[in-house]
Amino acid sequence: MSHTLSEFESKQLLREYGIATTPEHLATDPDRAVAAATQLGFPVVLKLCGRAIAHKTERDLVRLNLIDAGMVRAAATELLAKKQPADGDAQLLVQAMVHGRREIIVGLIRDPQFGPCVMLGLGGILAEAMRDVVFRMAPLSRADADDMVGDLQAAHLLGAFRGEPSIDRDALAQVLIAVGRIGLERDAVRSLDINPLIVRGASPIAVDALMEVAD
């Protein structure tokens, strides 16, 4: 048996392994959500966050680019009204808004034959259109991580592209190596999806994450 961690809990573990994530706070009501947004600085993102909420977008539980306290308060009230009994102790998750034109998926699976394997692919609409993903067994060396990037069919999109700088290859490699370490050092983690890992300027930042762990 297994269960999923909340997005907030999943990203706490990512931060323990040095993976950059969005600055964020949990809030239980609209007033606290406004206070958190003010502390982070506008614009912000607001989500309903809990262990039972694996697919927030499909349930319309994400509000983007909230630029002032009034918008945050209205969105918080709206999201809390969408909370269902099965969502348990779900709270509001207030995040700094991260802008970037390129999105990446990084994941971890446990293969019955090969053990923990790290996945890298292009995210967003490109993920569905191109199915451009590569896998490597953990542990990953720096050379393995570089090879994964190079093996993507659309690797050129991670270089300088349409006014965007080349992605920080060192930072991306460290994300891949860290996910491999999670697979080797955290036996309870059955799977992990970091989706999207948005490239802000040159830096990859985990904006959402979902981790499945053994009971």
* Phi/psi at 168 (5° precision): -70, 100
Q: State pLDDT tens for residues 67-118.
A: 999 999 999 999 999 999 999 999 999 999 999 989 999 999 999 999 999 9
Q: What is the pLDDT of residues 168-182, one digit of tens each?
A: 999 999 999 999 999
Neighbours of 32 (CB within 10 A): 16
Query: What DSSP designation does 138 have?
Result: S
Band of pLDDT at residue 129, cut at 50, 70 and 90? low
pLDDT grade, residue 163 (50/70/90)? confident
User: What are the start-end ranges of the E strands in the chain?
Assistant: 2-4, 24-27, 44-49, 62-66, 91-96, 102-111, 115-122, 133-137, 189-200, 203-206, 209-214
Distance CA 27, CA 44 (A): 13
